Amino acid sequence: ELPPSEFMQVADSTWLVLNVVSNGREPPGCQATGVTKIARSVIAPLAEHHVSVLMLSTYQTDFILVRERDLPVVIHTLAGEFDIYKEESGECVPVTSDDVSNGFLKPKPSASPMLHPVQSPQTRFCVLTVAPDTLPAIATMLIDVLFYSHSPPWDAATGGQDLDSITFFSFSLIEGYISIVMDAETQKRFPSDLLLTSSTGELWRMVRIGGQPLGFGECG
């Protein structure tokens, strides 16, 4: 329960987490992995049924949040591609489309989908993790980066930040596993011996969709 604030927008619905952990039912020869699989097999079909999602992807697991009221449509839409389970008393119980298809409504025909601009800032990013027992050693730096952002101020004249460069920091704690995404400049502020990454230490680029916040009602 958070105090009311004119600076805070809260979604007027409960969101549930879908944990995507399998390769679906496709033949072994045409299995995609990671975000490619999720975008094609999960997000795209849900967008066609006007279902909004929030996606969180880490090295270990991929999660998609959907609104609780959309769950019947979600299960009906994905049942042909995935085996779907729900957790009851710590056990995974199969869910079939028939159990929740009553009241399923096909989406109403709508106008052409809204198109958003796509930018790819020049900033390079690092995908990292850290051992949980070493977290206290970087706690102060994490607090500084997470809550005292040094990002360039919002430019009201242009409607956003400089699109050639963007500061982004993500800290995710999932069942004891820590996933961190930060730009290469921010990484220099952390002790290098505590941050773990892939053996290649590769850098990543970001694709930014939309020049303004998309909002909770945006589909896909």
Place of tokens 């945006």: 218
pLDDT in tens, 47-102: 888 888 888 877 667 788 899 988 888 998 888 888 888 888 888 888 876 655 44
Q: Looking at per-residue confidence, does 200 or 125 come out higher?
A: 125
Cα angle 113, 114, 119 (rounded to 5 degrees) comes to 130
Structure tokens, 62: 């991929």
Tell me what pLDDT residue 29 has. 43
Percent of the chain with pLDDT over 90: 13
Report the residue count for the chain. Answer: 220
Mean pLDDT of 13-39: 64
Q: Residue 47 belongs to what H/E stretch? A: helix 44-48
Q: Looking at per-residue confidence, does 111 or 199 come out higher?
A: 199
What's the pTM? 0.65
Tell me what pLDDT residue 183 has. 92
Q: Are 183 and 190 in contact (CB under 8 A)?
A: no
Tell me what pLDDT residue 123 has. 92
- Residue 187, CA distances (Å) to 20, 126, 132, 184, 195 in order: 29, 8, 18, 5, 9
Per-residue exposure over 154-185, b if at least 16 CB sit within 10 Å of its own CB, e if not = eeeeeeebeeeebbeeeeeeeeeebbbbbbee
Mean pLDDT of 193-209: 87
Domains and CATH numbers, the chain: 15-94 (3.30.70), 118-209 (no CATH)
Confidence of residue 119 (pLDDT cuts 50, 70, 90): confident
For residue 73, give the nearest of 185, 200, 219 by alpha carbon: 219
Mean pLDDT of 154-181: 74
- Residue 146, CA distances (Å) to 107, 143, 170 in order: 39, 5, 8
- Pairing status of strand 62-67 against strand 53-57: antiparallel
pLDDT in tens, 162-171: 668 888 899 9
Tell me what pLDDT residue 138 has. 92
- C-alpha neighbours within 13 Å on the C-beta side of residue 49: 19
Confidence of residue 216 (pLDDT cuts 50, 70, 90): confident
Q: Are 208 and 120 in contact (CB under 8 A)?
A: yes
